Amino acid sequence: MPPSLYLVKEDEVTFTAMRAQGAGGQNVNKVSSAVHLRFDIAASSLPEWLRERLLGLNDQRLSKDGVLVIKAQQYRTQEQNRADALQRLQALIDGAGHTPKARRATKPTYGSKQRRLAGKSQRAAIKSLRGRVDD
């Protein structure tokens, strides 16, 4: 995977520690290992076009005021969850920064037209044999 062009700065991200959900016994009940990452897109140092793309995403993690909230609770330690949340944020930014290559319309080749027509006539011949048989 190519390196990221636009890296997230640590001071633009806020972390909140909380207890994780789900099974896990005493560790889950006592230790605040889950992390909420908050990233204000409008106040970030990303380029304007990238901020507009991020704000235009149809993502449930994006609030109305343009704050992206990512919850990480997969790992047992807070440090691993912080790293996971940052990695997921970076992946989202990289995905929004990727511009797909423009498709150029091409015409079908002569051979592909001939193969398509041969397939159609073969299929028509099979279907014509399905009719009623006269003795």
Q: Give one DSSP letter per residue of 14-38, joined into a string.
A: EEEEEPPPSS-THHHHH---EEEEE
Please state, for a pLDDT cut of 70, what percent of the chain lies above it: 92
pLDDT digits (tens, 9 = 90+) for 99-127: 888 999 999 999 999 999 999 999 999 99
Which pLDDT belongs to residue 3? 62
- Laid out side by side, the sheet with 67-72 consists of 13-18, 34-40, 67-72
pLDDT band at 27 (very low <50, low <70, confident <90, very high): low
Which pLDDT belongs to residue 4? 66
Is residue 89 within 8 A of residue 37, CB to CB? The reply is yes
pLDDT digits (tens, 9 = 90+) for 63-90: 888 888 898 888 888 889 989 999 998 8
Cβ-based burial of 30 (10 A; exposed 0-12, middle 13-18, buried ≥19):
exposed
Which pLDDT belongs to residue 112? 97
Q: Tell which CATH classification among 3.30.365.10, 3.40.50.300, 3.40.50.150, 3.30.160.20 matches the domain 10-97.
A: 3.30.160.20
What's the pTM? 0.67
Nearest CA-CA partner of 58 in 111, 96, 11, 110:
96
Q: Give one DSSP letter per residue of 54-107, joined into a string.
A: HHT---TTB-TTSEEEEEE-SSSSHHHHHHHHHHHHHHHHHHHH--PPPP---P
Q: Which of 29-33, 77-81, 91-95, 114-118 has the highest mean pLDDT?
A: 114-118
Find the mean pLDDT for residues 3-32.
75
Which pLDDT belongs to residue 24? 67
Which pLDDT belongs to residue 74? 83
pLDDT band at 29 (very low <50, low <70, confident <90, very high): low
